[in-house]
Amino acid sequence: MLLRSAIFVDAGYLYAQGAKALTGGPLKRDRVVLDIEAVVGRLLEAAAAMTQDAPLLRIYWYDGMLQGRLSAEQEALAYKQDMKLRLGVVNSQGQQKGVDSLIVTDLIELARNQSIADAVLLTGDEDLRIAVQIAQSFGVRIHLIGIEPSRGSQSVALLQEADTAVEWKREIVATFMDSAPGAIEHGETPVVLPAHDTSATTVFQAIEEAAQEFVAGLGVSDIRVLAALGPGEIIPPGFDRRLLAICGRRAGRDLELPDKAHMREVFRRAVSERIEDA
């Protein structure tokens, strides 16, 4: 029998604790920019190290759906290869409901059916402890990924049950997550960027280069989502927030209205060129 591994991602924990690690305090979900390709790469890298390169069955991504509609990021994740998007709901108070039960069910069923030998969990919820124990009774090894400080963000009981555990430091989180420009509400002092020439021409050039590079790095699933975008429709917020953060960093300052208009124009043009080339 081929012994496989599976990765289970609690997106609520990833966003909340990742933002706290970066900024020192909480941020609203819509003020966090997540690079999906980069975080998947980090997950695969961590899983390979913790499971001694066991072949991957798939990544299970658990999140809440707001008002019965997929966000742009959730839609992009749904198209990704080797990814299973599993959705609970987000209530009127912004709380996720039904996510833990999905993780529990999937972990136990995969263990019972001997579909996996290793489970890598990015989460901190003590409610998963019983599922971990049951999976271990079927011979599955449990590996836990936490975000610093893991002793403060993860259940101690869950940490004690895991076979192995690692902690992602702020430096790792910063490779796949960022706050949108102007989003830091409190906490650590923002990183000071190198001095840039902020003349309008230079800023426009920096924005154009950054936007083109961003589009060039998008996956096929992202381009499929954007291909359905009509001429008068706004850019999906998930893409727009990431683009604002990237172009703002390249420009060396928060973008002003003319900068943003130029950024979105370049983005649309670059997407159209990729669609034509596909």
pLDDT tens string 148-176: 987 788 999 999 999 999 999 999 998 88
Looking at every residue in the chain, the average pLDDT score rounds to 84
- pLDDT tens column, 95-130: 666 788 999 999 999 999 999 999 999 999 899 999
pLDDT at 66 over 80: no
Beta strand residue intervals within 14-114, DSSP E: 32-34, 56-66, 83-90, 96-97
Per-residue model confidence as pLDDT tens digits over 73-103: 888 888 889 999 999 866 555 566 678 899 9
**pLDDT on residue 22:** 86
Out of 104-113, 176-185, 238-247, which region has the weakest mean confidence (pLDDT)? 176-185
Cα separation, 37 vs 168, in Å, equals 17
CATH of range 5-179; options 3.40.50.1010, 3.10.20.520, 3.30.160.270, 3.30.70.270: 3.40.50.1010
Q: By mean pLDDT, which of 64-73, 82-91, 128-137, 139-148 is the weakest?
A: 64-73
Cβ-proximal residues to 1 (8 Å cutoff; 6+ apart), any chain: 114
Which pTM was predicted?
0.67
Confidence of residue 179 (pLDDT cuts 50, 70, 90): confident
Kindly state the average pLDDT of the residues 250-276: 85
Within the chain, which residue ranges are assigned CATH 3.40.50.1010? 5-179
Q: Can you give 170-216 as a three-state secondary structure string?
A: HHHHCCCEEECCCCCCCCCCCCCCCCCCCCHHHHHHHHHHHHHHHHH
